[in-house]
Amino acid sequence: MKGTGTASDWREIDEWSGGTGWMAYPDENMQRASHLLADDGDVWLVDPVDCDGLDDLVAEYGEVAGVVVLLDRHTRDADTLAERHGVPVTVPDWMDGVEKKVDAPVERVRTDLGDTEFGVHRLVDNAFWQEAMLFGEESKTLLVPESVGTAAFFRAGDERLGVHPALRLTPPRKLSRLDPERIFVGHGEGVLDDAERALADALDGSRRRAPRLYAETIRDFFL
């Protein structure tokens, strides 16, 4: 499911005026996606997976101001990159347990990601799953690390964006309050066209299409 070793064949994705993204291991089934948000020379790395040449990509946008973890199990290479750039690992103030998983100083944030346009919002918070999302009010940019995705195991049929299999019966309705123009996800390439409609379709059809997704997942696993 996950790629291993040094990521030398990484691929850039989700490029836009406020940053870019990359897949360190484009051929892995999980399609782990990482993102770079840039604001006046400050660069924030979100749920990053390290790869060869990443520092050169960062330098095109500025200097790293922080490394962000939005999902309690998405520590990935956050501590490695934080130590390399001399910055803390940034975590929502309500999220537990991340400190035990990273070997780097941790900085807590409440509602805003530094001086950027992005607000930090609680999306899922229970004993098994703690997830935050970022939303930029000006650019209408939404970043969701896990609740929705575009990797194959998220999508049923012709969905462009799908709800995580574990949340299909209880989709995250908080997302329906937003009107994004682009959506970046932690698994798969982002949705850059007609994103608001793709999100509405994913949420509205989540429960109805759940049996199809589960059947397709079983078929792909065993065949």
pLDDT tens, position by position, 94-149: 999 898 999 999 999 999 999 999 999 999 999 999 999 999 999 999 999 999 99
Q: Tens digits of per-residue pLDDT, 6-61?
A: 566 899 999 999 999 999 999 999 999 999 999 999 999 999 999 999 999 999 99
Q: Long-range contacts: 41-46, Cβ < 8 Å, 24+?
A: 42/114, 42/115, 42/116, 43/19, 44/68, 44/90, 44/113, 44/114, 44/116, 45/78, 45/81, 46/70, 46/134, 46/143, 46/145
Amino acid at 133: M
Task: Answer yes or no: are the C-beta atoms of 17 and 40 closer than 8 Å.
Answer: no
pTM of model > 0.85: yes
Q: What is the pLDDT of residue 104?
A: 95
Q: 161-197 pLDDT, tens per residue?
A: 999 999 999 999 999 999 999 999 999 999 999 999 9
* Residue ranges covered by each domain of the chain: 11-222
- Answer whether CATH 3.20.20.100 is correct for domain 11-222: no
Mean pLDDT to the nearest integer, 80-94:
97
pLDDT at 7: 60
Q: What are phi and psi of 195, to 5 degrees?
A: -70, -35
Q: What is the pLDDT of residue 150?
A: 98
